[in-house]
Chain A
Amino acid sequence: MNEAAKRLAAIPDRLEPMIEGDPTFETITERVSCVTEGKPTKWWWALFSVSVSLTGLLFFQLAYLFWEGTGIWGLNNPVGWGWAIVNFVWWVGIGHAGTLISAILFLLRQRWRTSINRFAEAMTIFAVICALLFPTIHVGRVWVIYWVMPIPNAMAMWPNFRSPLLWDSFAVGTYFTCSLLFWYVGLVPDLATLRDRAKSRIKKILTGIFSLGWRGGNRQWKHYELAYLVLAGISTPLVLSVHSIVSTDFATSLLPGWHTTIFPPYFVAGAIFSGFAMVMTLTLIARVAFNLKEIITLRHLELMCKVMLLTGSMVGYAYSMEFFIAWYSGNDYERFAFVNRAFGPYAWAYWIMISCNVLVPQMFWFKKLRRSIPVMFVASILINVGMWFERFVIVSTLSRGFLPSSWDYYSPTLFDIGIYVGSFGLFFTFFLLFLKFLPMVAMSEVKGILPQANPHHGHISEGGH
């Protein structure tokens, strides 16, 4: 081996192949495209029918909600924000992994992202759709939801730009638009692949329309790469801004336990944490169900575990810092809010949160556990349970405010639970349709990280030059 070969061999990527099974460009195309071709499996139908039924249930409940009003939920006088806001923050948080993987890791040249980015981006879009549902229905009079937009009207109604709830609608709306564009631009070369493989006329036309005349020429790739880079640049600040703004919904109100400056970074870390956990859950299922173990390898999963360990520890730091500051501030109300969190009527929720979010990811310090599929599957689900409870703990702070005479305990009704469960139906309906009809792995990008794509490929083994 000569010098160049030694240096190449020293690059970490070479230590463990990113794609296993010695694939070629052709086998990658075949592996990923064949899922979208042919009939769906029985399992797919089974899951799809469950999801569609839940979505139907969701729509029935929404119809009843619009008819009857938000009184069908468990909201009461101190707790005006219930599960709807908990679910909103939870779903938006899950949506953060997609853009992180596609934009930030792209800019940081983390090439392992290519196996999971399509997946994560799709998950982001569907999670943000579910997230947007909740504040929309939470306003109660959903027919005037357009009031959050600055639309000139005969009532001279204009949104209050000092309200974080308004920033929220802009932040999440922008995030959705950018994520959708990013996802779609990434899909174009792969849609062209599907178009070229399509047998039926309808599929040819549909994939033909959405691949926008992609031929894969040099000029097209040049423009495409630039567009992708620009979109990555636009999306990167959004990863940080969206959940920061979501956190200001709480942090700008003068409530002990909410009114803290740690909220924005703490929320962003939590969002990435839960987003990665959700990607993990879905990936683990899909790589088995669709036989993609060679494309999404243990190495990818291990790296995701590391991200979860990092963000989980950041969240744990934030929890302890909140307590420390509550004590250090010397403010009685702030102290009460936190003691009440850990030992008050919602202590059970608090300790679920701590065990799932802080303790569970700590096991990823061990390489053996980082590389164990059952361990990470259970952990990823527990983390999302924990992250849901984090938001519940924050919202339930409302139940004991400044005025003890109006303290009240909040408990959900069947409709609170039903609409949350229904939002899973909506999410999985979209997700299963995506798995069936679109390439779930970015074929063109995975090909780019194969050894064959390296201009020096083949030369090294022959002694280099």
Chain B
Amino acid sequence: MAQIFPRWVNSIPLVLAAVALVGAASVVGFFWYYGSPKYTDVGYRPTQPVPYSHKTHAGDLGIDCRYCHVGVESQAVASVPPTQTCMNCHTLVLPESDSLTLVRQSWSTNEPIEWVRIHNLPDFVYFDHSIHINRGVGCITCHGNVAQMIEVQQDKPLSMSWCLDCHKNPGPELRPTNQVTNMKWEKGEDHKTFSSRVIEEKSINPPIECSGCHR
């Protein structure tokens, strides 16, 4: 009886095994790298309607974050400032500037400027700014050094595992509450004693069960 398969067919299982191994490793590697929010979300920098520079305002001029984001200490949302907040200064500072045309227009018509949201958690996540600020988690922890960003971009992955890393071990991210908005604050050498004292005093016990954030 004639052979059905030529001799080289014998090598197919070996080749298949090798391809399967490399293939599996590639698929895992692909999703590991390109599927992670570290790749898909970090660096998101949409063009805003007004060329507002955080570096100029928060960095060079040193305006505190809370001057504009007024809700951050007491509410769930930090709040995007209304046009009126801009005009507190810009009636006097650069009142004629071309780049502020849209701001003046919004001020006169009472139509808000449509800023593009960058840090956008899914709707099924309950997040409250005030508790984080009041426990001493700095703005920089989640938003990066905004004072050095001309245009703001997402700096951290904001993935669930990233949230949980800190919820399981909040110590390294804690600072004195009067330093939460300070982008230049650095940990002291005895940060461990400091953080364990704060955790003790404020009985910080971040939720890690599902209903902590998915209410």
Contact = CB atoms under 8 A, between A and B. Distances in A.
Chains A and B are bound partners = yes
Contacts of A153: 161
Interface residues of A, number: 10
Interface in A132-164: 153-157
A350 B182 CA distance: 70
Contact of A156 (B4, B5, B160): B160
B161 A155 contact: yes
Contacts, number: 25
Contacts of B59: none
B36 interface: yes
Most buried by B among A153, A155, A156: A156
Most buried by B among A155, A157, A196, A204: A155
B4 A195 contact: yes
B160 A208 contact: no
B122 to A, nearest CB: 11
A208 B4 contact: yes
A154 B4 contact: no
B160 A205 contact: no
Contacts of A196: 1
Contacts of B160: 154-157
A170 to B, nearest CB: 20
B5 A154 contact: no
B79 interface: no
A156 B161 CA distance: 4
B36 A205 contact: no
Contacts of A157: 160
A156 B164 contact: yes
A264 B161 CA distance: 37
B120 to A, nearest CB: 16
B37 interface: yes
Interface in A182-223: 195-196, 204-205, 208
A205 B4 contact: yes
B206 interface: no
Contacts of A208: 4-5
B159 A155 contact: yes
Contacts of B37: 154
B136 interface: no
Nearest to A212: B13
B171 interface: no
Contacts of B36: 154
B157 A154 contact: yes
Contacts of B162: 154
B35 interface: yes
A157 B160 CA distance: 8
A153 B159 CA distance: 10
Interface string B21-35: 000000000000001
Contacts of A204: 4
Contacts of A195: 4
Contacts of B159: 154-155
B11 to A, nearest CB: 13
A153 B37 CA distance: 10
A146 to B, nearest CB: 11
A229 B103 CA distance: 81
A419 B115 CA distance: 48
Nearest to B2: A204
A204 B5 CA distance: 10
Contacts of A154: 35-38, 157, 159-162
A142 B1 CA distance: 51
A184 to B, nearest CB: 15
A154 B157 CA distance: 9
B86 to A, nearest CB: 37
B33 to A, nearest CB: 11
Most buried by A among B159, B161, B164: B161
A157 B159 CA distance: 11
A153 B38 CA distance: 12
25 contacts: A153-B161, A154-B35, A154-B36, A154-B37, A154-B38, A154-B157, A154-B159, A154-B160, A154-B161, A154-B162, A155-B159, A155-B160, A155-B161, A156-B160, A156-B161, A156-B164, A156-B165, A157-B160, A195-B4, A196-B1, A204-B4, A205-B4, A205-B5, A208-B4, A208-B5
Given A153-B161, A154-B157, A154-B160, 16 more contacts: A154-B36, A154-B37, A154-B38, A154-B159, A154-B162, A155-B160, A155-B161, A156-B160, A156-B164, A156-B165, A157-B160, A204-B4, A205-B4, A205-B5, A208-B4, A208-B5
Interface of A: 153-157, 195-196, 204-205, 208
Closest 7 CB pairs of A and B: A156-B161, A155-B160, A154-B159, A208-B4, A156-B164, A204-B4, A154-B36
